[in-house]
Amino acid sequence: MKTLRFALIGCGLMGREFASAAARWLHLTNLDVRPEIIAVCDTNPALMQWFQDRVPTVRFASSNYQDMLENPEIDAVYCAVPHNLHGQLYVDIIQAGKHLLGEKPFGIDAAANAQINAAIAANPHVLVRCSSEFPFFPAAQKIVQFVQEKRFGRILEVEAGFWHSSDLDANKPINWKRMVAINGEYGVMGDLGFHVTHLPSRFGWLPRDVRAVLSNVVTQRPDASGKLVPCETWDNASLLCAVEHNGYEFPMNLSMKRIAPSQTNTWFIRIYGTEFSAEFSTKYPKTLRTLPYSSGAAQAWHELDTGSESAYPSITGGIFEFGFSDAILQMWAAFCDEASGSTPKFQCATPSEAAFSHKLFTAALESQKNRRVVQL
């Protein structure tokens, strides 16, 4: 069993998810590498203490991320910090020669993303991947398989989205994800968008143009003291794209919403084709819907209850349900597997896939501003 010694930079919501995944590594079978979190870094000491109290392998803690980069015992970094810090921190981590799983959107904007990509190009020995866990849901893995098998015939249309609902409450206090200076001009696209574009870009379905309609629904929110302050970021984004594929064109409708009534964390993908259609939504996390079609046959959806089987085998019985933290564990298995030199069973999102999302979101901002279709 090889050990990959990690520093965690950013001890917030996602940092804790990684600690939990690393702590239940025994869940995975037939994997000869494991992560060990030996160092934590956050500008808020109370958050580091949570890890020091609960993760026995943590031996280093610092509020200065440079200390993580200078530590020769650290092989790899998970960096889960606000978007305005991605550019500087990711570049420094890569230049320090540490493998990196970075969080989306992989740079606050296209310029920051380009800096990260330049650092990657200059350090090809470093493995750099972007966090994106939803494709590891078993039903999503089946859809990946269907695309690889070219089951769909001619693609008629693709819809993908990621929808949240809690911002419907106009009294929900503001946080950094609703501030342009920290979250970025992309608004909801920077926060939720990469989850939506990851699989389409993995499939090679890169839009040739986009018409975006972006909405800022709640323009003020209370701050911590209750005072109303501007809430400038886009809440919802609908991107209608034209995709050229195999000599024909099909529409792709990508949506990211912070205000989608009733949807708590709904990630979905639907692919309609002349010979086969398939859809999966985390709203029904074990349900895979498919519709095979041949000339003259009935057009009937089939529903399959998927079990727990994802890319990496685990101890969970095949019929048991799979959830968010299982997807996170699978993503970490894929990252550690690849960092240890193996070919991962499903590769984590790549920097070029993240770069493509920046191109699309930048075009979407221009489309909204000028109310026109923008070529990519």
CA separation for the pair 154, 138 (Å, rounded) = 24
Task: Provide, rounded to whole angstroms, the least separation between the CB of residue 332 and ligand NAD.
Answer: 11
Shorter beta-carbon distance to ligand NAD: residue 11 or 126: 11
Q: Helix, strand or coil for residue 93?
A: helix
Shorter beta-carbon distance to ligand NAD: residue 12 or 230: 12
Closest listed residue to residue 265, CA positions, set 133, 177, 154: 133
Q: Which residue has the tokens 């299982």?
A: 326
Closest listed residue to residue 369, CA positions, set 242, 188, 213: 213
CA separation for the pair 199, 328 (Å, rounded) = 16
String of DSSP letters for 178-196:
G-HHHH-TTTHHHHHHHHH
Token code pair at residue 138: 């078993």
Task: Provide, rounded to whole angstroms, the least separation between the CB of residue 17 and ligand NAD.
Answer: 8
Task: Provide, rounded to whole angstroms, the least separation between the CB of residue 164 and ligand NAD.
Answer: 11
Task: Provide, rounded to whole angstroms, the least separation between the CB of residue 72 and ligand NAD.
Answer: 20
Which residues are paired to 248 by β-bridges?
245
CA separation for the pair 274, 153 (Å, rounded) = 5
Task: Provide, rounded to whole angstroms, the least separation between the CB of residue 191 and ligand NAD.
Answer: 6
Query: Nearest residue by C-beta to ligand NAD?
Result: 12
Which residues are paired to 9 by β-bridges?
41, 79
Residues that bind ligand NAD (CB under 6 A): 9-14, 41-44, 47, 65, 80-83, 85, 103-104, 131, 133, 191
CA separation for the pair 77, 39 (Å, rounded) = 9
Sequence-distant (≥ 6) Cβ neighbours of residue 28 within 8 angstroms: 312, 313, 314, 315, 329, 333
Cβ contact 236:141 at 8 Å: no
Shorter beta-carbon distance to ligand NAD: residue 85 or 217: 85
| Strand 236-245 relative to strand 248-257, pairing | antiparallel
Task: Provide, rounded to whole angstroms, the least separation between the CB of residue 189 and ligand NAD.
Answer: 11
Sequence-distant (≥ 6) Cβ neighbours of residue 190 within 8 angstroms: 83, 104, 105, 108, 183, 184, 361
Shorter beta-carbon distance to ligand NAD: residue 47 or 61: 47
Shorter beta-carbon distance to ligand NAD: residue 176 or 301: 176
| Strand 155-163 relative to strand 266-273, pairing | antiparallel
Task: Provide, rounded to whole angstroms, the least separation between the CB of residue 309 and ligand NAD.
Answer: 22
Q: Helix, strand or coil for residue 82?
A: coil
Shorter beta-carbon distance to ligand NAD: residue 13 or 298: 13
Shorter beta-carbon distance to ligand NAD: residue 35 or 82: 82
Task: Provide, rounded to whole angstroms, the least separation between the CB of residue 212 and ligand NAD.
Answer: 20
Q: Can the peptide bond before residue 45 be classed as cis, meaning omega within 30 degrees of 0? A: no
Shorter beta-carbon distance to ligand NAD: residue 38 or 374: 38
Token code pair at residue 372: 């026109």
Task: Provide, rounded to whole angstroms, the least separation between the CB of residue 44 and ligand NAD.
Answer: 4
